[in-house]
Amino acid sequence: MNIENVDYDGLIPNNVGLNGDARVKAALETWHPGYIDWWHDMGPEGFQQARVYLRTAVSVDPKGWAKFDYVRMPEYKWGILLAPQVADRKIPFGVHKGEKAWQDVPGEHRAMLRRLIVIQGDTEPASVEQQRHLGKTAPSLYDMRNLFQVNVEEGRHLWAMVYLLQKYFGADGREEAEELLARRSGDPDTPRMLGAFNEETPDWLSFFMFTFFTDRDGKMQLEALAQSGFDPLSRTCRFMLTEEAHHMFVGETGIGRIVERTCEAMEAAGIADAHDTDAVRRLGVIDLPTIQKKANLHFSLSLDLFGNEISTNAANAFHAGLKGRFREDKIDDDHALESDSYPVVRLVDGKMVEQDVPALSALNMRLRDDYVAQCAAGVGRWNRIIDKFAIPFALELPHVAFHRQIGEFSKVKADAGGNMLSAEEWERRKDEFLPSASDRDFIETLMNPQFEPGKFANWIAPPKVGIDNKPGDFEYVKMA
Ligand SMILES: [Fe+2]
Ligand SMILES: [Fe+2]
C-alpha cells in the first residue's frame, strides 16, 4: 500500500494532518504518556531496552511507508496511518446504500459506532498483555522478533482506534480512550471485554495458535469494518489489514514449522504412529495429538468472538451501514438483505438442525463461516507437511458445537466431532479434546530460550527465509 503525505516530524507520525488539528493533537499528546506507562507495565517483559529489528515508520522511505531498522520498543513510532481516501466513495450496503460515505459520525448511529470501535480497540492491547511473558522463552531470535513486531503493531492498532475516539467522539471518546488503558487481560475486576482476550497465552504453541486463530478473527472483524460507510473507520481498518497479514503469517508458519519438526524427528527415529505420544515426546518435540488439542482450544475460543449466531446487533450495524460483510464489495446481491435468508445450524430440542433465518440477523454467522473456511485452508496446508512425511495423521478443525461459551451450543457439551455428551461424559473425557494439565506441563518443559543467532529450539524447524531477506544467522534482537 502506498501511503502518501506522512508527517514524521512530531511526536506522532501521521497522515491525518494532525499538525493542522490542534484539538486532536493535544488530546493524543495528553493520552500518550499513559500509553507509554501501559507499554512499560504490560508490554514485553524483560526486553524494553533490547534493540529489535522491526518494520517501523522511521522516515519517508521511497519504498513505502515503513522500513526495517533496530529500535527499542518504547521508542517505536506509533503512528496514525489511514489508507488513501477513495474519491467519491459511497456507502456500500444497508439502508443508506449509494449515499456519500460519511466523513463525520452520523448522529443517529453514534452510540453503535462508538461501541464497535471500542470493542475492536479493546482487543488490541489485550493480546500484548497476554503475550508479555513469551520473550523469555523464545525458541529463536527470529521468533522473538516476530512476537515483538506483532506486539508493537497491536499497540499501533490501539492508537488507530483511539484516534477515531478522540477525533470524532468528543468527551465520551476521551473517556473510552482512557478506559482502554485501564482494563487488563484476565483481571477479575477490570477484564478485557471479550472472553478469548482474557485467556492465558502460556507458551509458544499457544502464541502461534493465537495468531493463527484469534488474530484471524481480528482480521475478519477488520474486513467487515473496512466496508463501513463511516469512511475514517474504513480507511483505518484497511491500513490495519496490511499489518494483520503479517500476524497471520506468523501463526500459520509457526505451527507449520512445529509440525514439520515433529514429523522430521519421528521419521529420523523410525516412529510411524503419531499416537505413540510418549515415544514422540522423548524426542523433545510436540506430538501431533497435542497440537490438535491446542487447535481445538483456540479455534473454539475464537468462534465465540463472533458472538451469537442470530444477532439483532449485527443486523442493526449492517442496516445502518456501519459494519458490512467479508468482501461486501465483491458480493453480487442487493447489499440490503431485507428479504434474503441464510442457513444457520441451530440447536432445536437438543438436536442440530440447519434453519434458514433472515440474512440480516445471521450476519455474525456468515462472517464466521467465511472465517472457518479460511481456517480450514490453513489446516489443509499443515496437513500437506504431514503428508510429505507419509505419517497417517491429519489435523482437523473441531465441530462448531465443541467447547462453546457463546451462542447456540453454549448450553450443551459436545465432543470434537460434534456428538453430544452428558455433563458427566464431558468431565470424564475432556482431556481427550483439550490440552490436559500434563500436556501443558510437557510443553512447559520444552519452553527453554534459544537466543543464539541462527539457532532454533529443538521443537521447531527454522523458517524457509528470513525477515527482510536476512541470512539465517542474522541477529534480529540485540539484548540490552
Ligand atoms: Fe490488531
Ligand atoms: Fe493482529
The rounded distance, in Å, linking the Cα atoms of 242 and 279 is 42
**Residue 168, number of CB atoms within 10 A of its CB:** 20
Q: Which residues in 387-410 are b (16+ Cβ under 10 Å) and which e?
A: eeeebebebebbbbbbbbebbbbe
Q: How far is the CA of 416 from the centre of ligand 1 (A)?
A: 29
Distance 173 CA to ligand 2 centre (A): 23
Ligand 2 centroid to Cα of residue 412, in Å, is: 31
Question: In angstroms, rounded to a whole number, what is the distance separating the alpha carbons of residues 210 and 213?
Answer: 5
Residue 449 CA to ligand 2 centre (angstroms): 24
Helix (H) or strand (E) holding 53: strand 51-56
If we measure between CA atoms, which residue out of 224, 209, 259, 216 comes closest to residue 373?
216
Judge contact between 195 and 217, C-beta under 8 A.
Answer: no
214 CA from centroid of ligand 2 (Å): 8
Instruction: Give 67's strand partners.
Output: 56
**Of 64, 80, 89, 90, the residue nearest 3 (C-alpha):** 64
Residue 167 CB burial class (10 angstroms; 0-12, 13-18, ≥19) = buried
Tell me the CB-side half-sphere exposure of residue 383, using CA atoms within 13 A: 13
For residue 79, report the distance from its CA to the centre of ligand 1, in Å. 14
Q: Rounded to an integer, what distance in angstroms lies between the CA atom of residue 150 and that of residue 445?
A: 25
Backbone φ/ψ region at 98: left (φ over 0), alpha (ψ -120 to 50), beta:
left
CA of 135 to the centre of ligand 1 (A): 19
Going from the Cα of 157 to the center of ligand 2, the distance in angstroms, rounded, reads: 8
The three cell numbers locating residue 256: 507449520
For ligand 2, the distance from its centroid to the CA atom of residue 116, given in whole angstroms, is 17
CB 28 within 8 A of CB 12: yes
Q: How far is the CA of 157 from the centre of ligand 1 (A)?
A: 5
**Cell numbers placing 413:** 457439551
CA of 178 to the centre of ligand 1 (A): 18
Q: Ligand 2 centroid to 125 CA: how many Å?
A: 10
* β pairing state of 341-348 and 351-358: antiparallel
Give residues with Cβ within 8 angstroms of 221, minimum separation 6: 120, 305, 367
Q: Tell me how far the alpha carbon of residue 138 lies from the centroid of ligand 1, in angstroms.
A: 21
CB–CB of 34/158 below 8 Å?
Answer: no
Query: Tens digit of pLDDT per residue, the chain (480 long)?
Result: 666 677 877 788 898 999 899 999 999 999 999 999 999 999 999 999 999 999 876 544 455 556 889 999 999 988 898 988 999 999 999 999 999 999 999 999 999 999 999 999 999 999 999 999 999 999 999 999 999 999 999 999 999 999 999 999 999 999 999 999 999 999 999 999 999 999 999 999 999 999 999 999 999 999 999 999 999 999 999 999 988 999 999 999 999 999 999 999 999 999 999 999 999 999 999 999 999 999 999 999 999 999 999 999 999 999 999 999 999 999 999 999 999 999 999 999 989 999 999 999 999 999 999 999 999 999 999 999 999 999 999 999 999 999 999 999 999 999 999 999 999 999 999 999 999 999 999 999 999 999 999 999 999 999 999 999 999 999 999 998
Separation between Cα atoms, residue 9 and residue 18, nearest integer Å: 11
CA-to-CA distance for 315 and 331, rounded, in angstroms? Answer: 17
- C-alpha to C-alpha distances, 411 to 193, 302, 402, nearest whole angstrom: 21, 17, 11
Residue 261 CA to ligand 1 center (angstroms) comes to 29
What is the DSSP code (8-state) at residue 102?
B
Quote the ligand 2 centre to 77 CA distance (angstroms).
Answer: 17
